[in-house]
A and B are shown apart, each in its own frame.
Chain A
Amino acid sequence: MMKRDDCLKALARHITDADIVLPVYSTAFDWIAIRPHPLNYLSHGAMGLASSHGLGLALGRPDKRVIVLDGDGSLLMNLGTLVTIGEVAPPNLFHFVCENGCYEANGGHPIPGRAAVDFAGFARAAGYRAVHAFSDLKIFEQQIGAILAEPGPIFIDLKIESSGPQERDYSRIHGAQAREAFREALMSGR
């Protein structure tokens, strides 16, 4: 098992100023603390839709890498997205799931199928070009740079510890300021 913070720090070392990153829920707060950037796309509007927003961004901006940092509870709410992404097959989409086995933002309750669900297996069967699963931080650190250099869509399952129930201020995530900053950064070509 890995700690989410450690994984995100390792990932952040390979993210460029041109990349779009879509982190969800608790991961979003950790990510914007590690890597604040206007091309962080924080407002997904409804649970489970981050990867769908990501697919739209990947189609709309094929010149940019789009990095989705999904949650396991979120992904369970929109499993069809795996099939859609598998069919559309955008080469610039990288879909991570932070698998901690619980709804961390909603009280820490376990997800259905905890420890039995095979997210990487779902993605493989749905047609992602490549699928990876990591539970060892050192191996993840060694391989993530090369994975992000490959054509997508690629699915990366990160087996992480739960950080425990979280109380966060979501007004920053859902606020108009974050969306406007993203829009301006994207349109200005950053």
Chain B
Amino acid sequence: MQQHAGAEGHGLVGSRIIGEITASGIEFVVSVPDITTSEGLLRPLAQLKTPRLIRVCKEDEGIGICAGLAYCGRRALLLIQHTGLLDSINAIRGVAVEYSLPICMMVGLLQKEPDVAPRRSKRYGVRIVEPILEAMDVPYHEIEGDADIPKIRSAIEDAYAGSHPVVLLIGRRPS
């Protein structure tokens, strides 16, 4: 289990995050919109030809789609909100964890206060995310400031190299 404290203060630049995503060889972004990442990530990603954006109706669909792509040797990123992560726990359990598949999830922490660690948030739904991931043995990384952005590529590379899921927690709205 890996865990990293977020850097303080320096905001997040969406274009840098997208640069890390593309540099990681991600060919598909599978998404249900999330307000934290809507403007800084999803909207600009929707303008790109690569990675190809696949809009899904529900987050657990995305777990299945990413699994199918993984068997084909094609890299994908599931871009969702933490509520969708919570809703998809059984799919993550069955597909990502028990089948040891590299399901990479970028998760916006809706209404998390900037520069506050997720487990210290006043929002119950945010506070429980990391303990749940730890209980499921799913590695995660906090992406809170620009200093955290290089974690994205290494986390994705590690997930594919070790064939295991990973969650990247976006703690504030990227610009």
Return chain B residues, CB-CB under 8 Å to A58.
68
B128 within 8 A of A: no
Return chain A residues, CB-CB under 8 Å to B98.
45, 174
**Shortest distance between the CB of B155 and any CB in chain A (Å):** 21
Counting contact residues on chain B (CB < 8 A from A), the size range is 20 to 34
In the complex, what residue of chain A is closest to B62 when comparing beta carbons? A52
Interface positions, chain A 162-184, Cβ under 8 Å from B, are 174, 179, 182-183
- B94 close to A46 (CB less than 8 A): yes
CA distance in complex: A49, B57 (Å):
13
- A46 close to B90 (CB less than 8 A): yes
A124 within 8 A of B: no
Chain A interface helix/strand/loop/mixed? helix
- B56 close to A45 (CB less than 8 A): no
Return chain A residues, CB-CB under 8 Å to B66.
56
- B68 close to A60 (CB less than 8 A): yes
A interface size (C-beta, 8 A) = 32
Return chain B residues, CB-CB under 8 Å to A92.
none
- B71 close to A49 (CB less than 8 A): no
Q: Residue-by-residue, is B66-89 near A (CB-CB < 8 Å gives 1, otherwise 0)?
A: 111111111010000000000000
- The total of interchain contacts (Cβ-Cβ below 8 angstroms) comes to 101
Return chain A residues, CB-CB under 8 Å to B60.
46, 48-49, 52, 78
Interface positions, chain A 29-85, Cβ under 8 Å from B, are 41, 43-46, 48-61, 78, 80-81, 83-84
**Shortest distance between the CB of A180 and any CB in chain B (Å):** 11
Interface centre among B28, B57, B68, B70 (most CB of A within 10 A): B68
Return chain A residues, CB-CB under 8 Å to B71.
41, 56-57, 60, 182-183, 186
CA distance in complex: A87, B65 (Å):
14
A18 within 8 A of B: no
Q: Residue-by-residue, is B48-60 near A (CB-CB < 8 Å gives 1, otherwise 0)?
A: 0000001111101
Interface residues of A (CB under 8 A from B): 41, 43-46, 48-61, 78, 80-81, 83-84, 87-88, 174, 179, 182-183, 186-187
Nearest 9 A/B pairs, CB to CB: A56-B68, A60-B72, A80-B57, A52-B64, A45-B94, A45-B95, A49-B64, A57-B68, A56-B65
